[in-house]
Every structure is written in structure tokens, then in C-alpha cells.
Structure 1
Amino acid sequence: MIPVQGYQNQKVAVLGLGRSGLATARALQAGGAIPLLWDDSPESRQKAEDQGFTCTDLTRNAAWEGIATLITSPGIPHLYPKTHPVIARAMELGIPVDNDIGLFFQSLATAQWDRYEQPPRVVCVTGSNGKSTTTALIHHLLQEAGRPTQMAGNIGRGVLDIDPPEDGEVIVLELSSYQTDLARALTPDIAVFTNLSPDHLDRHNGMGGYFAAKARLFTQGGPDRAIIGVDEHEGRYLANQMGQGPGDDRVIRISSGQKLEGFGWVVFARKGFLAEWRKGKQVASIDLRDIAGLPGAHNHQNACAAYAAVRALGLAPRQIEDGLRSFAGLPHRSQLIAERKGVKFVNDSKATNVDSAAKALQAFPRIRWIAGGMGKDGGIAALQPFLGSVVKAYLIGHSARDFALQLGQTPHEICETMDRAVTRAVAEAEPGDVVLLAPAAASFDQYPNFEKRGDDFVERVRGLV
């Protein structure tokens, strides 16, 4: 646990009592603060009280007397589409609003660090797609190289739940736009921006607000090294803002698909090969084509980002290549789960939007595609250019019929349920096919989250093959 500093004997309100909220309450208590907890859900309040915490009704004006700050969980809207009433009241009273990420950066360094030979470092990863894989891959590469490391944030443990870092340790955090948007302290040593595509636009009042939330990690955080995907306009803009010129190697530009020239430090992947160039000279190359845990161009971009991060931390190219080859991938993200009679089965349940589904559809030559769920604005119309590899689509969930209308000439079948979709795809698959779950939709019509949807796919595939 990271005890929160700066609030000893002060009342700190905590709004939202999920995983991060309860971890925040424990860390505040460990630092000597007096946490006052609230959640709109009676069940969540009862769970907190069962753990010995005090719940205080923050919807009552009298509850705010003496409160120093309000810490809110990332999932609770603080601005758009509508400010939560408790957060609105704090702002009316001038009480600072922060989140666990801000507390983490405020509290991480301690006097103990003065005795370390090498101070701990923090690597933060944000972006629309690939940030979980990139975060896990950085963590894996460090582990394989024998470097002490912990992983937390939007993946794994809450940031305040980790152990105080030891000498030379690297903390790797995945941060969502919800987390970067509000944190009052953001001071990563290395910040990574993977890419940008439309998502969570209601929460950020449009694409500009969404990008601004991501960019705060760089523009407010001031990292020593910025690793930025430049395959979209926003990434090129951010790299330009962070650098003092094309030769500034504090900015490492990364790409999947284009050769980057004329910059001080770049890492890019083309035709399945990762290349690192510094000051106009190639210094390393890795063949990614046969690395099972990183299939497709989108994972090659993740590999470039992770490679750049650990190179900035001092790992050698050969160490990195060995680590890439031993990476098994993450559940629900281009996860190879079975192979039978020349047919592969891939679980990419995390592909909850059009952009991530497009990347999955480009990763394999012959696809039997299971898609559908709670569709987002525009459905899958934008996927038309990527349907050439789809032999047939098997559509499930609330948006199955809407998706069917947008598939054009692509063969498809409305299956409605995962059970029927997997059964039909297995029955019709031929050697060389990939049965791919890449829903391009949220899961909430049939499942509580994308993990449960992916687990259902895995269970049904293994039951049949």
C-alpha cells in the first residue's frame, strides 16, 4: 500500500466505493487521514462499513464541514455529460476534487528514496486502443530482464494498492482518459501515447475533450521521455508540442505501417519487422511475424511502444526480443485460445469499438467473425473497408439486426446468442480460417463486462473443440 501523504488528521471525502475507492480509503487511513466514504449504492456503502469504514451522506450540506478535499472514482462524471451532484457541491464550496492517480503521484516519493542507489521510475501508458497490452508487455519485458517492477492502474491492482517501490523499481501504470482528466498531480518519468480513436465522447463532450484528457499526461505531467504514436493527426500534434525540434530524442515517435525519417529517435514496424533508428542510423531490428502473442499490425504498434519504453529504461535490443517472444498476450485481447484441424480460435472481446475491431479484422487472412452486442453510434458502417478478409459474420446481441444491415454483400447470419454463433462458426470453419470474436460493440446487453463475454466464448469453443 502507498500511504497517502499530506492529509494527516484531516477529513477527506471519498466518492465511489468500488475497487479504487476502497483502496483509496485504506491508503488515506494509512497516511493518517480521516476518510469519510459515500456511494449512491446502499450495497456498496454496506460493503465499506463491513470493512470498518464510516459512511457519510455527502448529499447533505452539513456533511461538508471540515472536509479538506474530495477524492472521486474515475467512473463518476465530474463535468460531462452531467456533473455528479456530490462533485458539483464540492466545486461550489471550493473544495479541491482529485482522484487516486493524483494522490498516488503526490504520495509516491518518500524520504526512503534518499538512500536508494537508483530512484524508482514510473511509466504511464494511455491511448484509445492497445494500452492494456502495451502496459502488460512493458511489465513483462522488465520482469524477463530481471528488473523489479509492479503493474497497476486501469489494469491489475489499484495504484494505491501496490507495495512501496524498492531501489530501482519500475512502476508501470495503464491510465484511462477518466483517470488522467482529473488528477491534480501527474508526474510520470516516461509517458506513452498509443493512438486515438473515438470513444467515451459523451464523457468528454466530444473528440477534442477526449484528446485533451489524454494529452494532460504529457502537457501537465512533463515526462522526461515521451513515447508517442504518430499514425493519427493528434499524435503528430502531441509529438510536435512535446519536442524542441525533429532531432529532440526526448520524444520517441512510434508507428505501425510507416517508416519514420528525419527524427532523433524513432521505433516503427513495417511488413512485420520492428526497427529502431537513432540520429539517422538503424540500431536494431526484430522480426515480429512469428511472435504468437502479438498478432497483427495493431499489436506490432504495441510492441513498438513497449520496446521504446524499455529502451528508454536501458534494456538492450536482444533482451527485449527475448521478452517479446515469451509474451503470451492478455486475455480477451487477440488471445489465441485453441486450434483444431487448421482452424484457429481468437478471443478479442476487448474490441468494443469500431477502431479496435478494424485492427483485429486486419490481423488474419480468412475470418469467421463473431460480432455484436450493444452497438455504439454509427454501428459498424465504418468497417466496410476491412471486411475483405471476412468469410462470414455471425451476429449476436442487441445490435445483430442493425449490424446485418451494414454488412453489404458480406455473408452473415443472425445468431443472437454466443452459443449459436460459436456452434455455427465451428461447423462451417475450414482449414486456414480464424474464428474471431471481435464484437465492435459493448457487452452490456448480454454480459456485465467484456471479460464475461470473452469467458463465454472461450468456454463454448473449448466445449466444442
Structure 2
Amino acid sequence: MIPVQGYAGATVAVLGLGRSGLSAARALREGGANVLCWDDFDPARAKAEAEGFALRDLNKNGAFDDVMTLITSPGIPHLYPTPNPVIAKALAAGVIIDNDIGLFFQSFATPDWTGFDTAPKIIAVTGSNGKSTTSALIHHVLEHANRPSQLAGNIGRGVLDIDPAVDGEVVVLELSSYQTELARALTPDVAVFTNLSPDHLDRHHGMGGYFAAKRRLFSEGGPDRAVIGVDEVEGQYLAVQMAQGPADDRVIRVSVDRKLSGVGWNVFARKGFLAEWRKGRQVGSIDLRAIKGLPGSHNHQNACAAYAACRTLGLAPKVIEAGFASFAGLPHRSQLIAETCGVSYVNDSKATNVESAAKALQAFKNIRWICGGLEKEGGLDGLLAHLDAVKKAYVIGREAAGFAMQLKGIEVEVATTMQAAVQSAIADAQTGDTVLLAPAAASFDQYDSFEKRGEDFAACVQQALAHV
């Protein structure tokens, strides 16, 4: 646990008692704060009360009269589309609002560090797609290189649940826009921006607000190094803002769309080969094509970002390459779950939006595509240019028929359920095909999470193959 600093003796309220909320409450109490907890759901309140926390209904008038700060969970809206009623009361009362990420950054460093030979570092990764894989890949490479490392944030452990740092440790954080938009402290040593595509637009009141939430990790944090994907105009803008000039190697530009030139520090991948250029000459390269845990250009982008972040720590290209080679990938992200009779079965349930699904469709050939679910804003038009490898689509979800009508130019079957989709895809599959779950939609019409959807796909595949 990371005890929260700066609140000893102060009254702090915690709203939302899920994983991050309870973790924040514990860390605040460990740091000497007087903690008051609230959640609108009885079971969450009961769990906090069982741990000895005092409850206060923050909806009532006067609830914030003695409160210094309100800590809120990431999923609770504080501005758009409308503020949560409790947060609206806190705003009206002039109470400081923060989250567990802000508490972590203000509390991570301790006086013990003065005795370390090498100060611990934080690498923080954000972006629309690929941030989980990028974060896990950085952590994996560090472990392979025998560097002490912890993985936390939106992946792994809660940020305040990690262990206090040891000499030379690197903490790798995956941070969502929900986490970065509100944190009052954001001070990573290395900040990574993978890419940007439309997502969570209602929460951020459009693309401008969404990008602004991601950008805070750089503009507020002032990282020593910034690794920035420049395949979208927002990344190009961010890179220019962070750099003092073309040769400023505090900014590392990353691309999978083109070769990057110039006198700065660039990492890019073309046709499966990663190349690192610095001061106008090539200084490193990796053949990514044979690395099974990193299939497709979207994973090559993740590899470029992870490579750049690891290079800022002084790791040699060969060490990073060896770490990449043993990376198995993450569950539900281009995860190979079976391979039999010449047919591959790939679980990319994390492809919850059009952009990530398009990347998955570009990574494989001869695709039997299982898709559908709770459609996000903007429709499916962004997918239509990436259907060349799709032999047939099998649509699931409560609105499967409406989803299927938008998939023009390919054969489509309205399967509705995962079991029916998997059975049809296996029956149709031929040698050389890939049965790919890449939904291009949220899971909540049929599942509690994308993880549950991916697990159901894997279970349906195993069950169906057992009877083939």
C-alpha cells in the first residue's frame, strides 16, 4: 500500500466504493486522514463499514461542511454529460475534488528514496487503443531485464495498492481518460500516448474534451520524456507542443503509417520491421513478424511505443527484442486461444470500438468475423474500408439485425448468441481461416464486461471443437 501524504488529521470523503474507492479509503486512513465513505449501493456501503470506515450520506445538505477533499471513483461523471448529484454539491461547496491517481502521484515518493542508488520512475501510458498491451509489454520487458517493476492503474493492481518502491524500480501505469481528466497531480517520468480515436464522447463532451483529458498527462505532468504516436493529427499536435524544436529528443515520435525522418528521436514500424532512428541515423531494429504475441500493425504500434519507453530507461535494443519474443499477449487482445485443422481462433473481445476492430481485421487473413453488441456513437462506417479479409460475419447481440444491416458488401449471418455464432463459424471454416471475435461494440447488452464476453467465446470454441 502507498499511504497518502498530505491529509493527516484532515477530513476526506470518498465517493464510490468499488476497487479504486476502497483502495483510496484504506490509503488515506493509513496516511492519517479522517475518512468518510459513501456509495449509493447498500452492499458497497456494507463492505466499507465492515472494514471500519465511517459512512456519511453525501447527498444530504451540509454533508461537506467539514470536508477538505472529495475523492471520487473514475466512473462517476463530474462534469459531462451532467455532474453526479454528490459531486455537484461538492462543487457548490468549493470542496477540492480528486481521484486515486492524483493521490498516488502526490504520495509515491518518500524520504526513503534519499538512500537509493537509482530513484524509482513512473511510466504512464494513455491513449484510445493499445494502452493495456503497451503497459503490459513494458512491464514484461523490464521483468525480462531483471529490473524491479510493478504494473498498476487500469490494469493489474490499483495504484494505491502497490508496494512502496524499492531502489531502481519502475512502476508502469495504464491510465484511462476517466483517470487523467480529474487527477490533481500527474507527474510521470515518462508519458506515453498511443493513439486517439472516438470513444467516451458523452463523458468528455466530444472529441476535444476527450483529447484534452489525455493531453493532461503531458501538459500537467511535464514528463522528462514523452513517447507520442503521431499517426493522428492530435498526436502530431501534442508532439509539437512538447518539443522545443525538431532535434529535441525528449520527445520520441512513434508511427506505423510511415517512415519518420528528421534529426529527432523516432521509432516506427513498416512491413513488420521496427526501426529506431536518432539524430538522422538508425540505431536499432527488430523483426516483429515472428512474435506471436504481437500480431498485426496495431500491435506493432504498441511494440514501437513500448520499445521507445524502454529505451528511455537505457535498455539495449537486443534486451528489448528478447523481452518481446517471450511476450504471450494479453487475454482478450488478439489472444490465440486455439489452433486446429488449419484454423486459428482469436479472442479480441477488447476491440470494443470501430477503430480497434478495424485494426484487428487488418491483422489476419481469411476471417470468419464474430462481431456485434452495444453499438457506440458514430455507427460502423469506419469499418467498411477494412472488410477485404472478411469471408463472412456472424453478428451477436440484442440488436444484431440492425448491426448486420450496416455491414455492406460481405456475407452476414444474424447469429444473436455467441454459441450460435461460434458453431456457424466453425462449420463454415476452412484451412487457413481465422475465426476472430472483434466485436466493434460494447458488451453490456449481453455481458457484464468485455472479459466475460471473451471468456464465453473461448468456452464456446472449446466446447464446439470437442464435438467436431
Shorter-chain TM band: over 0.9
Q: Distance in 2 between matches of 1:460 and 1:248?
A: 51
Stretches of 4+ moved more than 3 A in 1?
none
Q: Distance in 1 between matches of 2:94 and 2:377?
A: 36
Q: Distance in 2 between matches of 1:117 and 1:318?
A: 25
Alignment of 1:2-17 (within 5 A): 2-17=2-17
Matched letter for residue 238 of structure 1: L
Q: TM-score, normalising length from structure 2?
A: 0.99
Alignment of 1:213-292 (within 5 A): 213-292=213-292
Q: Distance in 1 between matches of 2:312 and 2:409?
A: 47
Name 1:325's counterpart in structure 2.
Answer: 325
Q: Distance in 1 between matches of 2:120 and 2:240?
A: 28
Name 2:429's counterpart in structure 1.
Answer: 429
Contact 2:64 2:95 in 1 (8 A): no
Contact 1:372 1:400 in 2 (8 A): yes
Is residue 420 of structure 2 the alignment partner of residue 450 of structure 1?
A: no
Q: Distance in 2 between matches of 1:378 and 1:121?
A: 39
Q: Distance in 2 between matches of 1:220 and 1:383?
A: 35
Name 2:360's counterpart in structure 1.
Answer: 360
Q: Distance in 2 between matches of 1:398 and 1:190?
A: 42
Aligned residues: 465
Q: Distance in 1 between matches of 2:385 and 2:377?
A: 18
Q: Distance in 2 between matches of 1:63 and 1:264?
A: 53
Matched letter for residue 424 of structure 2: R
Q: Distance in 1 between matches of 2:285 and 2:378?
A: 39
Q: Distance in 1 between matches of 2:55 and 2:335?
A: 41
Alignment of 1:111-190 (within 5 A): 111-190=111-190
Q: Distance in 1 between matches of 2:404 and 2:150?
A: 44
Q: Secondary structure at the match of 1:436?
A: strand
Q: Distance in 1 between matches of 2:246 and 2:27?
A: 43
Name 2:45's counterpart in structure 1.
Answer: 45
Name 1:370's counterpart in structure 2.
Answer: 370
Matched letter for residue 103 of structure 1: L
Name 1:314's counterpart in structure 2.
Answer: 314
Q: Distance in 2 between matches of 1:386 and 1:398?
A: 24
Is residue 340 of structure 2 the alignment partner of residue 340 of structure 1?
A: yes
Matched letter for residue 461 of structure 1: V
Contact 2:152 2:174 in 1 (8 A): yes
Q: 1:409: Cα distance to partner?
A: 2.3
Q: Secondary structure at the match of 1:88?
A: helix
Q: Distance in 2 between matches of 1:419 and 1:319?
A: 43
Matched letter for residue 237 of structure 1: Y
Matched letter for residue 152 of structure 1: A
Contact 1:393 1:412 in 2 (8 A): yes
Alignment of 1:383-402 (within 5 A): 383-402=383-402
Q: 1:257: Cα distance to partner?
A: 2.6
Matched letter for residue 301 of structure 2: Q
1:281-304 deviation per Cα after TM superposition (whole angstroms, max 9, x unaligned) = 001111001100000000000000
Q: 1:373: Cα distance to partner?
A: 0.6
Q: Distance in 1 between matches of 2:409 and 2:136?
A: 38
Q: 1:61: Cα distance to partner?
A: 2.1
Q: 1:405: Cα distance to partner?
A: 1.0
Runs of 5+ unmatched residues, structure 1: none
Q: Distance in 2 between matches of 1:31 and 1:408?
A: 58
Is residue 378 of structure 2 the alignment partner of residue 406 of structure 1?
A: no
Name 1:67's counterpart in structure 2.
Answer: 67
Contact 1:257 1:271 in 2 (8 A): no
Q: Secondary structure at the match of 2:134?
A: helix
Q: 1:263: Cα distance to partner?
A: 3.6
Q: Distance in 1 between matches of 2:67 and 2:375?
A: 42
RMSD: 0.7
Matched letter for residue 210 of structure 2: Y
Contact 1:125 1:173 in 2 (8 A): yes
Q: Secondary structure at the match of 2:300?
A: helix
Matched letter for residue 279 of structure 1: K
1:137-184 deviation per Cα after TM superposition (whole angstroms, max 9, x unaligned) = 000000000000000000111100000010000000000000000000
- Structure 1 range deviating more: 144-153 or 377-386: 377-386
Q: 1:54: Cα distance to partner?
A: 1.3
Contact 1:379 1:402 in 2 (8 A): no
Q: 1:381: Cα distance to partner?
A: 2.2
Q: Distance in 2 between matches of 1:148 and 1:159?
A: 16
Q: 1:50: Cα distance to partner?
A: 1.8
Name 1:32's counterpart in structure 2.
Answer: 32
1:10-55 deviation per Cα after TM superposition (whole angstroms, max 9, x unaligned) = 1100000000000000000100111100111112111211222111
Matched letter for residue 125 of structure 2: V
Q: 1:229: Cα distance to partner?
A: 0.0
Q: 1:382: Cα distance to partner?
A: 1.8
Matched letter for residue 376 of structure 2: K
Matched letter for residue 440 of structure 2: A
Q: 1:378: Cα distance to partner?
A: 3.2
1:366-418 deviation per Cα after TM superposition (whole angstroms, max 9, x unaligned) = 10000001111233222110011000000000231112111122001000000
Q: TM-score, normalising length from structure 1?
A: 0.99
1:308-352 deviation per Cα after TM superposition (whole angstroms, max 9, x unaligned) = 000001100000000000000000000000000110000000000
Matched letter for residue 31 of structure 1: G
Q: Distance in 1 between matches of 2:409 and 2:308?
A: 42
Q: Secondary structure at the match of 1:80?
A: coil
Is residue 101 of structure 2 the alignment partner of residue 101 of structure 1?
A: yes
Matched letter for residue 380 of structure 1: L
Q: Distance in 2 between matches of 1:49 and 1:76?
A: 21
Contact 1:189 1:223 in 2 (8 A): yes
Q: Distance in 1 between matches of 2:188 and 2:208?
A: 23
Contact 1:375 1:398 in 2 (8 A): no
Q: Secondary structure at the match of 1:248?
A: coil
Q: Distance in 2 between matches of 1:5 and 1:61?
A: 29
Q: 1:65: Cα distance to partner?
A: 2.5
Q: 1:93: Cα distance to partner?
A: 1.2
Q: Distance in 2 between matches of 1:204 and 1:413?
A: 35
Q: Distance in 1 between matches of 2:254 and 2:426?
A: 38
Q: 1:464: Cα distance to partner?
A: 2.0
Name 2:205's counterpart in structure 1.
Answer: 205
